[in-house]
Amino acid sequence: MSLTNFVERWVDEAAGLTEPGRVTWCDGSKAEYERLVDQMLGDGTLLPLESPAYPNCYLHRSHPSDVARTEQLTYICTRSRLDAGPTNNWMAPDDARRRIGGLLHGAMRSRTMYVVPYLMGPPGSAMSRVGVMVTDSAYVVASMHLMTRVGGVALSHMRSAEDFIGGVHSLGDLSPERRFIAHFPEQRLIWSVGSGYGGNALLGKKCHALRIGSWQAREEGWLAEHMLILGLEDPEGRVTYLAAAMPSASGKTNLSMLVSKLPGYRVWTVGDDIAWIHVGDDGQLRAINPERGFFGVAPQTSPATNPNAMAMVSANTIFTNVAVTPSGEPWWEGIGTEPPAGLTDWQGRPWASGNGPAAHPNARFTVPASQCPSIAPSWEDPQGVPISGFIFGSRLARVAPLVSEAFDWNHGVFMGSAMGTETTAAITGKVGVVRRDPMAMLPFCGYNMADYFAHWLRIGTRVPRPPRIFRVNWFRRDGSGRFLWPGYGDNARVLKWIVDRIHGKADAAETPIGYVPRSNDLELDGLDIAPERLQAALSVERDEWIESLHDLGEFYRQFGSRLPAAIQEGLAQTARRLTT
Ligand code: GTP
Ligand code: SPV
Ligand code: MN
């Protein structure tokens, strides 16, 4: 049987379950994208943005209850509950097949089922992987066109008949009551019903590239991470590549394409959300971006905070849940202009001050990565780019300093595992609640997080000179709630310190939590910041840290004996350093 026959048989099974009126195979062509857009303009799924400043740009308004990822409805369905671990929702595969199968059964009656073969990763890369998803949403198909490589290119990268992840997606009735995002890593299968929202519905992204991907990565000895990839070019023209994990809506897109406020430094973008990282033959870690587009947060994106993003979303972009001006331009809070008279909000209502935000706080843009002015020449290199440093960043008003460096690999893995963060609008639920989010993977690790820590520790033993590991926090605040650090383009100053540490050129103070720069270890030329504010951003407060370790101990306890000794030891050592 040929490779495609096997895919066809799987698609037939999906059709047997969902009973579509029609089946359409997608080829990923421009003509196909245009047909989908025309059809969606016809049925109101997309609205045109009439402004000539935004050619080929469209607005999609989602169902008002379908605006973000729903972690409480996201499941890992493994035979053994322990393999999903205590931080994931778990459902037995048979139960899932019954409950979710019931919702998918006949879900596409009289609708079109689109078959979308997609490639995650650059063509020609041994690190790239194939998925085949079926969906009854034209918006999902068009978004997959922008975010992945769709069509024959996918099927031609299958290494064997069963070398693909299957995904079944249906909008269902969009009710959160009948919504599930289920992963069957043992069957290489994803079932998603009841949501059209990005991370729930574009199955190549979080479901495949992170949850199933992390499972495969552990089996095959690589890493699938919620990380941006960037190259920092220094004044000598040397480019140093870094990968940075940060929780949802916490600065990856911004950092990956920042325009440096430091003369002579330049950031090159390889990816903004996901990194697949392999140990190369030369013992060096090499990373690819499995995606080919950006699904980025719109609010607070402006010519001042992220000029590259503003430039890239001015054509061929699908906006979701933004507001729209009377002249047909997208608008959101923090875009840099006052809300114009006659603004229409994200739900299509006339906006008035006092009505809440005009754009949904998790409004997004979907755009081809190739349109980013800072896209790295190496971004589709089949060999990936060499990674010299890892950054773990989160959103914390207190405790974590602007930047610190781990003492060594194991200490860095401990540091990542200990990360806490304030929740954001990228997930439904309460915003601003501090929770543990190890390596920004809490919602995305497809297996037991304790085993994930062990996997990270093991990777460190396989590379002769493991990358340095850093922790950043752009979000520390003063007593009145103002950010201490200006962030955005000034984060280049922190990147410079990180890269200088890697190349042995920058100084730091040794503290109980790692190496932390003193004010004069950072390049501050041209920065207008009060010395005491910078001091506060860099400070390590013993009492705050000791308090945070209690909570961390609680978090670790749920893993029982599966928690690696080196992680427990990291906690014990930090406590000792803080109290002596
Ligand atoms: P996902 O796509 O959800 O994974 O998010 P992301 O990590 O790519 O987040 P993104 O870069 O889009 O950041 C979203 C939010 O963080 C926006 O509100 C930004 O304005 C804010 N943000 C990003 N960088 C900084 C910074 O350096 N300082 C401050 N204060 N806010 C920042
Ligand atoms: C995130 O929430 O981390 C995102 C957006 O990158 S989504 O793809 O919707 O998950
Ligand atoms: Mn993300």
- Residue range 473-515, pLDDT digits in tens: 999 999 999 999 999 999 999 999 999 999 999 999 999 999 9
pLDDT at 559 over 60: yes
Q: Tokens representing 298? A: 């719109």
**Cβ proximity of 234 and 499 under 8 Å:** yes
pLDDT at 3 over 80: no
364 Cα nearest atom in ligand 2 = 5
pLDDT at 206 over 70: yes
Maximum CA pair distance of the chain? 71
Smallest-distance ligand from the CA of 199: 2
Neighbour count for residue 53 (Cβ, 10 Å): 12
Q: Measured at the alpha carbon of residue 256, what is the angle toward residues 250 and 118, in degrees to the nearest 5?
A: 95
Quote the pLDDT of residue 354.
87
What value does the mean pLDDT take over residues 556-561? Answer: 98
Amino acid at 377: P
Closest CA to 569 of 553, 547, 558: 553
Quote the pLDDT of residue 143.
98
- Pocket of ligand 1 contains residue 286 by CB under 6 Å: no
CA of residue 247 to ligand 3 center, whole Å? 7
Concatenate the DSSP letters of all residues of 231-282 into one string. Answer: EEE-TTS-EEEEEEE--TTSSHHHHHTPPPSSTT-EEEEEESS-EEEEE-TT
Closest CA to 83 of 548, 456, 449: 449
CA of residue 279 to ligand 2 center, whole Å? 26
Smallest-distance ligand from the CA of 492: 1
CA of residue 298 to ligand 1 center, whole Å? 9
Q: What are φ and ψ of residue 493, in 5° steps? A: -65, -40
CA of residue 253 to ligand 1 center, whole Å? 7
For β-strands 165-170 and 129-135, DSSP reports them as: parallel
What value does the mean pLDDT take over residues 456-476? Answer: 98
Quote the pLDDT of residue 4.
77
Quote the pLDDT of residue 298.
98
Average pLDDT, the chain: 97
For β-strands 149-150 and 112-120, DSSP reports them as: antiparallel
User: b or e along 76-112 (b: 16 or more beta carbons within 10 Å of the residue's beta carbon)?
Assistant: bbbeeeebbbbbbebbeeeebbeebbebbeebbeebb
pTM: predicted TM-score of the whole model, two decimal places:
0.98
Neighbour count for residue 515 (Cβ, 10 Å): 19
What value does the mean pLDDT take over residues 233-248? Answer: 98
- Pocket of ligand 2 contains residue 273 by CB under 6 Å: yes
Cα–Cα distance for residue pair 439/210, rounded to 1 Å: 13
Smallest-distance ligand from the CA of 196: 2
Concatenate the DSSP letters of all residues of 461-507 into one string. Answer: HHSSSPPEEEEE-TT-B-TTS-BSS--GGGHHHHHHHHHHHHTT---
- Pocket of ligand 2 contains residue 443 by CB under 6 Å: no
Give the dihedral of Cα atoms 448, 449, 450, 453; nearest 10 deg.
130
User: b or e along 198-222 (b: 16 or more beta carbons within 10 Å of the residue's beta carbon)?
Assistant: bbbbbbbbbbbbbbbbbbbbbeeeb
Listed in order, strand segments (DSSP E) in 111-220 are 112-120, 129-135, 149-150, 165-170, 180-184, 189-193
Confidence of residue 218 (pLDDT cuts 50, 70, 90): very high
Smallest-distance ligand from the CA of 396: 1
Closest CA to 141 of 180, 113, 104, 108: 113
Confidence of residue 341 (pLDDT cuts 50, 70, 90): very high
Confidence of residue 353 (pLDDT cuts 50, 70, 90): confident
pLDDT at 1 over 60: no
pLDDT at 534 over 70: yes
Quote the pLDDT of residue 355.
86
Closest CA to 447 of 277, 211, 165, 184: 211
pLDDT at 520 over 80: yes
Quote the pLDDT of residue 130.
98
| Nearest CA owner, ligand 2 atom 8 | 199
Confidence of residue 107 (pLDDT cuts 50, 70, 90): very high
pLDDT at 211 over 60: yes
Closest CA to 489 of 477, 474, 472: 474
Confidence of residue 336 (pLDDT cuts 50, 70, 90): very high
CA of residue 369 to ligand 3 center, whole Å? 15
CA of residue 99 to ligand 3 center, whole Å? 28
CA of residue 486 to ligand 3 center, whole Å? 23
Cα–Cα distance for residue pair 272/249, rounded to 1 Å: 11
β-sheet bridge partners, residue 375: 269
Using DSSP, state whether 129 is helix, strand or coil.
Answer: strand
| Nearest CA owner, ligand 2 atom 5 | 199
- Pocket of ligand 1 contains residue 296 by CB under 6 Å: yes
| Nearest CA owner, ligand 2 atom 7 | 199
Concatenate the DSSP letters of all residues of 371-403 into one string. Answer: G-TTB-TTTT-TT-EE--EEEEE---SSSS-SE
What value does the mean pLDDT take over residues 99-110? Answer: 98
**Cβ proximity of 131 and 203 under 8 Å:** yes
Cα–Cα distance for residue pair 468/410, rounded to 1 Å: 10
**Cβ proximity of 214 and 437 under 8 Å:** no
Residues of the chain with pLDDT > 90, as a percent, come to 98
Q: Tokens representing 117? A: 């073969």
444 Cα nearest atom in ligand 2 = 3
What value does the mean pLDDT take over residues 276-305? Answer: 97
- Pocket of ligand 1 contains residue 306 by CB under 6 Å: no
SS (H, E, C) 288-303: ECCCCEEEEECCCCCC
Smallest-distance ligand from the CA of 305: 1
